[in-house]
Amino acid sequence: MRTRIKVCGLTREPDVDDAVEAGVDAIGFVFYEPSPRSVSIQQAQRLARRVPAWVCLVGLFVNAPRNIMLSVADEVGLSHLQLHGDESPDDCRGLGRPVIKALRIGSEVFTPGAAQGNAIAQRVAAYEDCHAVLFDADSVGFGGSGQSFDWGLLEGVFARAPRLESSWVLSGGLESGSVGQAIARLRPPCVDVSSGVEARENGKQLKGIKDARRIREFVASVRVADALRP
């Protein structure tokens, strides 16, 4: 099975066009105002009109009230909801769309050894009713860290929730130079990238501004890694 690709944090129409042309499976819009990649409902509506029906539209929310998420989802036409805050398992139920729950992984939360593996497995199992779980690096803020984490921490995390082993997302600092290694080691069903395909100017990352070349290179790296899988 090929690895699905989601590009998140899109804010401009040309970037949406580039991602679709590159062959991604899902487009992500951030509805979390403190994020530099946040979009308004009106922006998201304009962007969504450029996305073909066979590409998923994912809305990222952080501790948002249920009625707000449902209203935004209806107005924009979101197919999936991605929850990146402190949402409980109950908060993820009954939203009328597939829910992807982000779980933040960090050494300050989980120390090496069997205990940390069990702790992550317990968290995964708690969200077994979700359509998928997404693993991202821990950070001070919400909405995606742009940093990687120790992939070894994911070993055995689906022991208590085997259904999710075929429905999870790897995120956190991925870019074209590292995603192939991640696929070879972890075989994630889906990878999620944002900062790894953003434009740079004078060495500075332009948050929310994607780079068409970086998107193409990321997709190409995923496809090469898929071809090398046994």
Per-residue tokens: 36: 């530099």
% pLDDT > 70, the chain: 90
The pLDDT value recorded for residue 173 is: 87
**Are residues 193 and 28 in contact, defined by beta-carbon separation less than 8 angstroms?**
no
The pLDDT value recorded for residue 109 is: 43
66 CB-near residues (< 8 Å, 6+ apart): 91, 95
**Are residues 127 and 102 in contact, defined by beta-carbon separation less than 8 angstroms?**
no
**Cα distance between residue 93 and residue 90, in whole Å:** 5
Q: Is pLDDT at 105 greater than 90 in this prediction? A: no
Q: 75 or 159, which is more confident?
A: 75
Under the banding of pLDDT at 50, 70 and 90, the label for residue 155 is: confident
Dump pLDDT digits (tens) for 30-77.
999 999 999 999 999 999 999 999 999 999 999 999 999 999 999 999
**Are residues 101 and 87 in contact, defined by beta-carbon separation less than 8 angstroms?**
yes
Q: How many CB atoms lie within 10 A of CB 3?
A: 19
The pLDDT value recorded for residue 149 is: 85
- What residues are labeled active site? 8, 136
The pLDDT value recorded for residue 144 is: 52
Task: Count CA atoms within 13 Å of residue 68 on its CB side.
Answer: 13
Dump pLDDT digits (tens) for 167-218.
999 998 899 999 999 999 999 999 999 999 999 999 899 999 999 999 999 9
The pLDDT value recorded for residue 116 is: 57
Q: What are phi and psi of 57, to 5 degrees?
A: -110, 115
Catalogue all structural domains in the chain, each as residue range(s) with its CATH number.
Answer: 4-228 (3.20.20.70)
Dihedral sign for Cα 47, 226, 158, 176, please: negative
Q: What are phi and psi of 12, to 5 degrees?
A: -125, 145
The SS3 assignment for 114 reads: helix
**Cα distance between residue 173 and residue 192, in whole Å:** 9
Q: Is pLDDT at 1 greater than 90 in this prediction? A: no
Q: Is pLDDT at 22 greater than 50 in this prediction? A: yes
Average pLDDT over residues 154-163: 90
% pLDDT > 90, the chain: 80
The pLDDT value recorded for residue 119 is: 84
Q: What are phi and psi of 6, to 5 degrees?
A: -120, 130
Quick one: 4 exposed, middle or buried, by C-beta within 10 A (0-12, 13-18, 19+)? middle
Dump pLDDT digits (tens) for 127-152.
999 999 999 987 655 555 556 788 88
Under the banding of pLDDT at 50, 70 and 90, the label for residue 107 is: very low
